[in-house]
Amino acid sequence: MGKATGFLDYERKDGAVVAPQDRLQNFDEFHKNLSLEEQQLQGARCMACGVPFCQAGCMIAGMASGCPLHNLVPETNDLVYRGNWEQAYRRLSITHGLPEFTSRVCPALCENACTCGLNTKPVATKENERAIIEYAYANGLVKEEIPAVRTGKTIAIIGSGPSGLSAAQLLNRRGHSVTVFERSDRVGGLLRYGIPNMKLDKRVIDRRVKLMEEAGIVFKTGVNVGVDITGEELLKKFDRVILCCGASNPRDLNAPGREAKGIYFAVDYLKEVSKKLMDLGYDAEALMESTDFSFKSLKGKHVIVVGGGDTGNDCVGTSIRLGAAKVTQLEMMPMPSETRLPSNPWPEWPRILKTDYGQEEAIYSYGSDPRIYQTTIKEFVKDKRGHLKSVVIVSLEAKKDPNTGRMNMVPVEGSEKTLKADMVLIAAGFLGSEAYVRDTFGVECNQRTNVATAEGEYQTSRERVFVAGDMHRGQSLVVWGIAEGRGVAKAVDESLMGYSNL
């Protein structure tokens, strides 16, 4: 695949990234595309390796290696190299129905498992994918299939995130009548309200949703299943129900003073900012000047972000754009190695230090990396009005639990420090699905409060009710949500028709 000597002839080249001083002036996407001619040379670097881990999507040492969608990456890269963009789109579409999302927000599991990356830089598969789908949109190739014959079967999907959209897409193509229920005011779930606009412009979601509506999928927003309508009512109206509600129960930080005003969950904060941006017609200047937030304004304020993952990074970048005087990010775990350790060989997912866009912007804005490792908040300190004014942090160290043998991060006595804090954003992950949705359908859950199914299956303990996405597997990546959506679509189709050609 690709050019036989391409990985030797051409260096990896990524699209330009807008400099922090410029991109901080707005909420626009800041990763630019290469020209199609330059992108073709990146396709040429695919080296026809004997075992393409890039498309394996298997678990190695408890972590995914390669694409969970099993995209046939070498074949697609070869078509990019040859400039056959239409066929590249057709090839990609066989395994992936929503590449405009993953080509923007996926951490590129394919690239981290690329054989070329063992000794040099991996093939730019993610940017190849983005070039393919944007070429397809620009040239009128992207069309949702409208089935010639309807089966008469009806399906309700609860949640319009990656798994919900993916399942709806395939089931509608099969000829079933699909209705998607979304409790928010707009379609997209995690894609819409969990990811900032500078990573995924919400108009990219609207573009796809419009095509899906034209193909016959019905979206009902502002409907909170379990509150506005019960599970029993839906089961009377629909032949099958798929739960795609996400792992939306945020993990809290229970320290003294938690009741102080000015403490928010990251998911609520990011949703509020994204909604305001869309309500303002994507007017970034108006958003930055607005004081019509629950937190009024961030100008001149000190913000503490608890959590070192992607969501924490998104909070850092968003807060800087809104004018925060200082943003500090707290991470419980030790600082990762800058290179792979012998205990973390290729093609395992690389557990190495990553400096993402939010941290880059903090370094530019404040002169230093915002992250403090091996620490957490011991106490929230309030003023006389009950507003947060500072936090007491404590250092952590790894110690083995004598009973379980597990390594735990425990406080170091006497290591307390006080940091000024006007607002704290808790981005410490999620504890699983929300109980009221599970309860309205009467489905069983496992110890992680994910909806339980048999291993590798999607049928819940309740007849005719299926589950997919984060509600099924726990907090995960967009690409896993899409893969789950495709998997549950096939399972539902088989349950309805006795077989499936999905």
What is the per-residue pLDDT across 165-184, written as a single tens digit (0 to 9) for each? 999 999 999 999 999 999 99
**Are 418 and 275 found together in one domain?**
yes
Instruction: Record the pTM.
Output: 0.96
Place of tokens 């590798």: 456
Which residues is 328 bridged to in the sheet? Answer: 304
Q: With contact defined as beta carbons under 8 Å apart, do 31 and 368 qualify?
A: no
Alpha-carbon torsion (33, 36, 37, 43), positive or negative: positive
CA gap 214, 256 in Å, rounded: 52
Residue 397 structural domain: 263-426
Report the chain's C-alpha Rg in angstroms. Answer: 23
Q: Which percentage of the chain shows pLDDT scores above 70?
A: 100
Q: Establish if 400 belongs to a structural domain.
A: yes
Same domain as 455, residue 375: no
- Residue among 279, 352, 360, 281 nearest 316 (CA): 360
Distance CA 193, CA 182 (A): 12
Same domain, residue pair 66 and 200: no
Instruction: Write the CB contacts of 132 (distance below 8 Å, at least 6 apart in sequence).
Output: 76, 80, 85, 88, 89, 92, 99
| Cβ–Cβ under 8 Å, residues 430 and 446 | no
**Token pair of 489, please?**
């679509």
CATH number at residue 306: 3.50.50.60
Pick from 32, 27, 19: which is nearest to 317 by CA?
27
Do 407 and 332 lie in a common domain?
Answer: yes
Give phi and psi for 412, each to the nearest 5: -95, 115
For residue range 287-326, list pLDDT tens digits in order: 999 999 999 999 999 999 999 999 999 999 999 999 999 9
What confidence tens digit (pLDDT) does each residue in 365-414 have? Answer: 999 999 999 999 999 999 999 999 999 999 999 999 888 888 899 999 99
> Strand, coil or helix: what is 377?
strand
CA angle 236, 238, 243 (to 5 degrees): 105
Q: Give domain status of residue 465, yes or no.
A: yes
Categorize the per-residue pLDDT at 432 as very low, low, confident or very high, splitting at 50, 70 and 90.
confident
Residues 375 and 413 placed together within one structural domain of the fold: yes
The answer to whether 224 and 245 are in contact (CB under 8 A) is no
Q: Which of 426, 447, 475 is where one domain is finished?
A: 426
Instruction: Give yes or no: residues 206 and 183 share one domain.
Output: yes
Q: From the centroid of its chain, how far is CA 480?
A: 9
Residue 27 lies in a domain: yes
Per-residue confidence band for 265, with pLDDT thresholds at 50, 70 and 90: very high
**Do the beta carbons of residue 96 and residue 112 sit within 8 Å?**
no
Say if residue 2's pLDDT is above 80: no
